[in-house]
Structure 1
Amino acid sequence: MGFVLMKKIGIITHYDVHNHGALLQLTALTRVLAMRGVEAKALRFDKNYDFMGHALKAKYDVSIKSLGIYLRYLKDKGFGCTKYNYQKRKTLNRFKVSAGIIGDYYSESPLLDGVIVGSDEVFALHTGPTPVFFGHCLPTDNVFSYAGSFGPTTYADICNLHSTAFVKSGIEAMKYVTVRDANSASVVRQLIDNEPPIVVDPVLLYGYKKEISEMGSPSYKNYLLVYAYDNRMNSKEEVDAIRKYASSRGLKTLSPGFYHDWCDYNVNVDPITLLSYFKNAEEVLTDTFHGSVMSLITESKLAVKTRESNHFKLRNLLLEYGLEDRIFQAWEDLDSVMSPNIDYDRVNVEIERRRADSMIHLDKMLQMI
C-alpha cells in the first residue's frame, strides 16, 4: 500500500520573542498547514538590530556586554516584573517545545519544499535589515508571504533607510505575496507595482475553535482583562483611569501575559490557556493587535486604545469587522466605547468570509510547490 509524503515547509517569523500573540499566530499557521497535509515549523535565524543603535543592540546579543542593560532593567522594572518575565520566558519556551513549532536553523534545512514568510511584522525595519524576512538566502526558490506586515514601516521609511533595493528585490522574487493590512499593501504596491491580497492573521485563519470550546474556566471571576505590553498603560493618568473604570463596574483588574504591578492579578499562562482568560473576561481592554484578534475569536467585549505607533494598524483590523467604534484615544471615552454590546453574529459572518478568501490564497501557494 502506497503512502503520500507530506510536504515540508519552513516558516520565517518572530519565533524567539516572549509574546503570546506571536506564538499563537505561528502555532495557528502550523496547524492550518497540517490540515493541508503539510509539515511546517519555524526556521531559526539571527535577527539584525543594526537600526536600534550599537548600545541597545547589546540587549539582544546576550553576552557579558548585555549585563549592564539587564541590571538597569532590574533596577527600573523592579524585582516583581523581572521575576514575572523570567517565569514567562520559561512558560513560553516550554510551550514551544510541547507544540513542536520550532525547526532547524534556516541554512541547515536544505530539504524544504518551500518557505512562508509571515505572519506578523516580518517586513518592519525598525530593528534592522534581516535578510530572511525578505526571502533572501533561503534554501529554496519557493518563497511566499502569508499575511506579512510592514507594521509601522512606511515606503518613505524604507527609502530613508536606503533599503529600497534590499526590500524590493526580496519581495519581487517571492512567488506569491499576501499581506495583513492596508499599509503593507500600499508599500508592496509602491515597491513592485503590484496589488497584493490582504488576508487574515493566522490566529483568525485557524480560529482555535476546538481549543476554545474544550478549555476550562480560570479560577478568577469578574475581571477586566488588561492586555498591554508592560511598558505601556503604566502612567498615573492611565492607571487611575483604568482603576476608576474597573471599580465603577465592580471588576478586578487582571493582566495575563504582561506584568503591571498596579493590577489586582498578574498571571503567567501559555498562549493557548491565555484564550480562556479572554473568553471568560467580563470585558477586555487592550492596545495591541493580537489582543484585539484574541478578543474577536473569543467573542469578548472589548475596547481598544490606539497609539501613534499602531493606530492605523488597529483601526484597519477593526474596520474590517465593523468594530471601529471600539477604538478610543482619550481615557474619558473608555466607558462610552466599552458599554455597547458587540453583535458577534454579524462579526462572525465577516470573519468566516475573510477566512475562506484567505484560505484560497494559501492553497494557491501550496499548489505552486
Structure 2
Amino acid sequence: MNKVGIMSMQRIANYGSFLQAYALKEILQEREVNIEFVDYHIEPVVISQVQNEKRGISGKVYKALETMRYDAPLLHKFEFLKYKEAFSRSYLPILGISKDMNYTPELDCLLIGSDEVFNCIQKNANVGCSMELFGKDNRAKKLISYAASFGNTTLEKLVFYRKADEVGRLLKTFDCISVRDKNSGIIVEQLTGKMPEYHFDPVLIYDFINKCNRIPIWKSTEKYLILYAYSGRISNNEAIWITDYAKKRGLKIYAIGGIQKCADRFINCTPFEIFTYFINAEEIITDTFHGSIFSIITHKKFTTIVRESIDDSYGNEEKLIDLLTRLNLMDRLTKSIQYVNKINEKEVNYDLVDKIIYEQRQKTNEYFKREIG
C-alpha cells in the first residue's frame, strides 16, 4: 500500500485542527507511504437556524463583524483577525495542501479522522452535514478511520434529525473503524453492531516534544497563565474571576486561540510555538479538548472547564470527560471557575500519564501496521 489519503478537518483555521492533521501525517509517514489530504464537499447543516451561508469575501466580512462584537480589547481583536486571515496561507502548505481542492482521488486507502469528522449534527456551516466524511462516494480500495469523533452529536440527535439510517449504512462500509471517545463508540456499536477500536488523538500520539524540530526554544521574561478558549466562551463572571485570580498570583493573562475580555495579551503565534508558550506558562485554564492536550504534553498544572450540551448548543463534556478519564485526570475537570485555584494547586502525576500515553502509542502503531502495512 503506497497511497494513503487523510480526510480530516485540515482546512479549519485553529491550532488543534492543524496540529492533529500534522501529527497524523507524521505518524503515517513513518510507515513510508505517500500521504495526501483529501477534501469533502460542504453540505448544508441539518439544524434549522438563521445562518450565514455565504462564503468567500462576504464570509470573511461576516466573521470580522462577529469578532468586533466580542467584549475584548480592540488591539486584541485586530490581532485575532490577522491570525485568522493568515492561518491557511501560512500553515496549510506545511501539510502539503494548496488552494486547489482534492476531491475523491483514487487511493489505496482513505483514512477518515481524526478530530470531529463524524460530528454531523451541529451548526457550523463551514463543515455542515457532509456524508463524504462517512466515506460516501470515495474511490479508495480500503476505507478506515482513526480516532474519529462524533463530538456532541449523540445517537438521539441522529435519530431525531433522521440521519441514523444513512450514517449507519455508510459506517458499515468501513473496513475498520477507530474512534477516540465513548460517545462515538456507542454510536458506532449501535448503528453497525460492531465494536470499534479506541485510540488517542494524534496530538497525544505523535511525540511533538522529542520529535518535532519546528518547536522553538526560548524562556519567558515574565510570569503568565494561559487562557486557552474560543472567543466568546468565557463569560463575564468567569473573566472577572480569572482577572482577580491572576492578579493575586502575580501573573499576566495570555489568551491563545481566542480573544478574551480579561487577557493582558492575545498571542498570535505559529501552531508549533503553542508548545513553547505552554512550556513557559505557570499554569493553564482551558475549556477545550486540545488546550487540555497541550497542557498534558507539556506537563503543566491545568484546569479544564466543562461546557454542557443543552438542546442544540455546542458543549464539550462528551469528549473532555472521556479524554481525562482515560488519562486518570478527572480531578482536573470542573464546571465552575471557582474551583480553579484548588485544582491548580494540585500536582499532576505525569509519570502515570506518560505511561498511559506510551501504551496508546504502541497500540496506534500496531493498528497502522495491521491496516496500512
**TM-score normalised by structure 1 residue count:** 0.90
Deviation at 1:231, TM superposition (A): 1.6
The two structures, once aligned, show a CA RMSD in angstroms of: 2.2
Secondary structure of residue in 2 paired with 1:258: coil
Moved more, 204-213 or 261-270: 204-213
Which string of whole-angstrom CA distances, capped at 9 and with x for unpartnered residues, describes residues 227-254 of structure 1?
A: 0001211x22101111111122211100
Shift of 1:360: 1.3
Q: Which residue of 2 aligns with 1:35?
A: 30
Which residue matches 2:9? 14
How far did 1:8 drift?
A: 1.8
**Once the 2 structures are TM-superposed, how far is the Cα of residue 75 of structure 1 from its aligned partner?**
4.8
User: Separation in 1 of the partners of 2:332 and 2:213?
Assistant: 23
Deviation at 1:303, TM superposition (A): 0.7
Alignment-mate amino acid for residue 226 of structure 1? L
Please give the residue correspondences for 1:119-138 in structure 2 after superposition, counting only pairs within 5 Å. 119-125=114-120, 126-127=122-123, 128-138=128-138
Q: What's the counterpart of residue 291 of structure 1?
A: 291
1:220 deviation in Å? Answer: 5.0
* Residue equivalent to 2:142: 142
- Residue from 366, 369, 372 that aligns with 1:360: 366
| SS of residue matched to 2:139 | coil
Task: Judge conservation of contact 1:30–1:39 (CA < 8 Å) in 2.
Answer: no
Kept in 2, the 8 Å contact 1:204–1:351? The answer is yes
**TM-aligned CA deviation for residue 301 of structure 1:** 1.2
SS at match of 1:263: coil
Write the mapping of 1:147-296 to structure 2, written as runs, cut at 5 A. Answer: 147-208=147-208, 209-211=210-212, 215-217=216-218, 219=220, 221-233=222-234, 235-296=235-296
Counterpart code for 2:363: D
Alignment check: 8 A CA contact 1:84 1:259 kept: no
When residues 18 and 350 of structure 1 are mapped into structure 2, their CA distance, relative to the original with a 3 A threshold, is: same
Which residue is 2:101 aligned to?
Answer: 105
Aligned-partner Cα distance in 1 for 2:335–2:97? 38
Matched, 1:69 2:62: yes
Q: Is the 8 A contact 2:104 2:138 kept in 1?
A: no
- Counterpart Cα distance in 1 of 2:219 and 2:153: 38
Counterpart position of 2:311: none
> What percentage of residue pairs aligned between the two structures are identical?
29
Shift of 1:109: 2.4
Distance verdict in 2 for CA 1:69–1:100, change over 3 Å: closer
TM-aligned CA distance change 1:108 to 1:311, over 3 Å: closer
Following superposition, the deviation at residue 214 of structure 1 comes to: 5.9
| Whole-angstrom distance in 1 between the partners of 2:245 and 2:213 | 28
Change (3 A) 1:305 1:212: farther
Partner of 1:344: 350
Contact 1:29–1:206 (Cα < 8 Å) also in 2: yes
* Distance (Å, rounded) in 2 between the aligned partners of 1:298 and 1:212: 16
Q: Distance in 2 between matches of 1:93 and 1:213?
A: 18
Q: Provide the residue aligned with 1:324 in structure 2.
A: 330
Alpha-carbon distance in structure 2 between the residues aligned to 1:295 and 1:243: 20
Secondary structure, in 3 states, of the residue corresponding to 1:105?
coil
The answer to whether residue 18 in structure 2 is matched with residue 23 in structure 1 is yes
CA change 1:215–1:333 in 2 (3 A) is same
- 1:46-65 CA-to-partner distances (Å, cap 9, x unmatched) read 32233254741425x3355x
Matches of 1:178 and 1:272, distance apart in 2: 27
Q: What is the total number of aligned residue pairs between the two structures? A: 358
Q: TM-score when scaled to structure 2?
A: 0.89
Q: 1:108 to 1:121 in 2, by over 3 A?
A: closer
Which stretch has the larger CA shift, 19-28 or 45-54?
45-54
Asked if structure 1 preserves the Cα contact closer than 8 Å seen for 2:240 and 2:262, the reply is no
Q: Which moved more, 1:338-347 or 1:255-264?
A: 255-264
Contact 1:106 1:138 survives alignment (8 Å)? no
Which has the larger helix fraction?
A: 1
C-alpha displacement at 1:204, in angstroms? 0.9
Show the 5 A alignment for 1:45-124: 45-53=40-48, 55-59=50-54, 61-62=55-56, 64=58, 66=59, 69-70=62-63, 72-73=65-66, 75-77=68-70, 80=75, 82-102=77-97, 105-107=101-103, 109-110=105-106, 112-124=107-119
Q: Partner letter of residue 256 of structure 1?
A: I
Indicate conservation of the 8 Å contact 1:91/1:268, yes or no: no
Give the Cα–Cα distance (whole angstroms) in 2 for the partners of residues 82 and 51 of structure 1.
31
Per-residue CA distance 1:262-281 (angstroms, 9 max, x = gap): 30111111111111111111
Q: Give the superposition deviation at 1:89.
A: 2.5
The letter for the 1-side match of 2:34 is E
